[in-house]
Chains A and B, each alone.
Chain A
Amino acid sequence: MAAEYVIVGSGVAGIAAAEALRARAPGASITVITEDPNGFYSRPGLAYYLGGAIPEKQLFPRSHAELRALGLRWVQAQATKIDVAGHRVNLADGRSLAYDKLLIATGARAAAPDFPGGDLDGVFTLDTLADAKRLIHKANKSGHAVVVGGGITALELAEGLHACGVNVHYLLRGARYWSNVLDAEESQLVEDHLRDDGIEIHYHARIHQAEGKKGRLIAVQTDSGERIPCQILAVAIGTRPNLDLARTAGVKIDRGILTDSCLRTSAPDILAAGDVAQVHDDITGRASLDTLWPTARAHGVAAAATMTGAPTPYRRTAAMNVTLLADIPTTIIGALGSGSDEDMVAIARGDSESWRAAAPTWVVVEHHEVNRVRIMLGDRTITGALVMGDQTLSRPLHRLIAAEADISPIRDALLADDHAVLQLIASFSAEWERSHADNS
């Protein structure tokens, strides 16, 4: 009998798994259960939709026809319980589906506001297309918005709301933006850009409470007694994996669902992938969480292989995110910064814990005007890099970091002369690529 594969979640992890399962098992039954009526869309694209760069229909990477061609059984419902021994998933509408292998790809959602008044009408988080649409609708009728939080999503919210024509106040709990990943100068570049756009930044501003009238948000009060009248309060203080299914089923969890490197959980025939999975890394011996689209996709592909009986480890490469930070193209690779960011209560969106695992290293900086490259040097390798503005070096750096290339030949030169960094890296990486092409 053909295998029954069931996937909970229609995000990139779930869809990448479905696609890979279909390629490996043409005759299998593949079911995707999702509670999102909009199915599969680009979540990072929501920021561009909010900012008006693309229309809604552009968010869908797959047409209905393409999804149909994969031969998936599509079930729109919330999965509520897993019967581990009976190999069944129960749905909120009373149905129950049998599985041979189950993939939990339920993603993560924005952490709930951590202050009084967080439930008022007008307080938003951004997770889904429905959230983005509600926010745009509200923005069209609003004059003032407050954005609170850190990381990329908070900036995207601030800029997106600004693009909708709303006056935006951006509240930072500390002295600068994203202090555990960016250095002071990088934070400054981003903040200057926001201010130039007309966004008002409030420092050392912690929300005391959201103030409402008849259930509706009318203002935000800060700990220092400031009161900012607003109709929108957008909150991006981190994400939390959707763990309910795993927890009630007794599947082992930590901050995410714990899996081995092949995405298998502690329960038989149940796997996890994407933002919800805390995947063991055989090399470092640690299990960490990511909230990155490409990582979720790679998890999905590896999980599918494991489900079809070909256990395949997810190979963690140097975490990388490329994004626009206040319109400045920025690539963050490997380990940078350390400690925690006051604006976040959990790991940020488009974030990876490994970015904060920075060991003591030398920092070398090359900058010319808005372009900036920061490189973290270990004893023999480059452990992390942040490239702002001109992106010429971001690919070579990613390759060198991911391959843990031995950079000892240029290490002293890098430390000796900040201004030579670009040239040194460019020529070293060209030479390195050549010798590796020869060896392979």
Chain B
Amino acid sequence: MTIDRRSLLFDLTRAEVLATGHVLPEPARCVQCGICSYNCPIGLDVRAYAWRGEAISDSHCLTCGQCVARCPRGVLIFAPMANGKS
């Protein structure tokens, strides 16, 4: 069996994000297609955060990475939180 390097990296990133990070958009890439919001399992309006260029601050966010993985434009990344601020 070959290990999928991408998904392994992704899982490792996620574990770290669960502890210290959040989802951060780069609005200059976003085309407001809504795929992120559509795939968020808890129905957060990720697209609206992406428009405003704000990190997803909702405490319900599972950092499951669905939005990150599905955005066709690479708008969303997991990023460490600055000094525990959200």
Binding site for B on A (CB under 8 A): 12, 42-45, 48, 53-55, 58-61, 293-294, 317, 320, 322-324, 329, 331, 390-391, 394-395
Chain B residues with CB under 8 A of A12: 32
Question: Please, how many angstroms separate the alpha-carbon atoms of A280 and B34 in the complex?
Answer: 32
Interface members, chain B 23-71 (any A CB < 8 Å): 26-35, 37-38, 47-48, 51
Chain B residues with CB under 8 A of A59: 33-34
Is A42 a contact partner of B74 (Cβ separation < 8 A)?
A: no
Partner of B34, one of A61, A317, A320, A324: A61
Chain B residues with CB under 8 A of A60: 34
Q: How many Å from the CB of A149 to the closest CB on chain B?
A: 20
Is B74 a contact partner of A322 (Cβ separation < 8 A)?
A: yes
Q: How many Å from the CB of A44 to the closest CB on chain B?
A: 4
Chain B residues with CB under 8 A of A61: 32, 34, 47-48, 51
The verdict on A294 contacting B47 (CB below 8 Å), with A58-B38, A329-B74 known, is no
Task: List the 3 shortest-distance A-B pairs measured between CB atoms, nearest first.
Answer: A45-B33, A44-B31, A58-B34
Interface of A is mostly: mixed
Is A320 a contact partner of B33 (Cβ separation < 8 A)?
A: no
Binding site for A on B (CB under 8 A): 6, 26-35, 37-38, 47-48, 51, 72-75
Chain A residues with CB under 8 A of B73: 322-323
Chain B residues with CB under 8 A of A53: 35
Q: Considering only CB atoms, which chain B residue lies closest to A57 in the complex?
A: B34
Partner of B28, one of A44, A58, A294, A390: A294
Q: How many Å from the CB of A58 to the closest CB on chain B?
A: 4
Is A45 a contact partner of B31 (Cβ separation < 8 A)?
A: yes
Is A329 a contact partner of B72 (Cβ separation < 8 A)?
A: yes
Is B28 a contact partner of A48 (Cβ separation < 8 A)?
A: no
Q: Considering only CB atoms, which chain A residue lies closest to B5 in the complex?
A: A390
Question: Please, how many angstroms separate the alpha-carbon atoms of A55 and B39 in the complex?
Answer: 11
The verdict on A45 contacting B32 (CB below 8 Å), with A58-B37, A58-B38, A294-B27 known, is yes
Is A42 a contact partner of B28 (Cβ separation < 8 A)?
A: no
Chain B residues with CB under 8 A of A331: 74
Q: How many Å from the CB of B6 to the closest CB on chain A?
A: 8
Partner of A45, one of B26, B27, B34, B48: B34
Question: Please, how many angstroms separate the alpha-carbon atoms of A322 and B31 in the complex?
Answer: 10
Q: How many Å from the CB of A329 to the closest CB on chain B?
A: 6
Q: How many Å from the CB of A321 to the closest CB on chain B?
A: 9
The verdict on A54 contacting B74 (CB below 8 Å), with A61-B47, A61-B51, A395-B26 known, is no
Is B29 a contact partner of A48 (Cβ separation < 8 A)?
A: no
Question: Please, how many angstroms separate the alpha-carbon atoms of A320 and B27 in the complex?
Answer: 12
Is B72 a contact partner of A42 (Cβ separation < 8 A)?
A: no
Is A294 a contact partner of B31 (Cβ separation < 8 A)?
A: yes
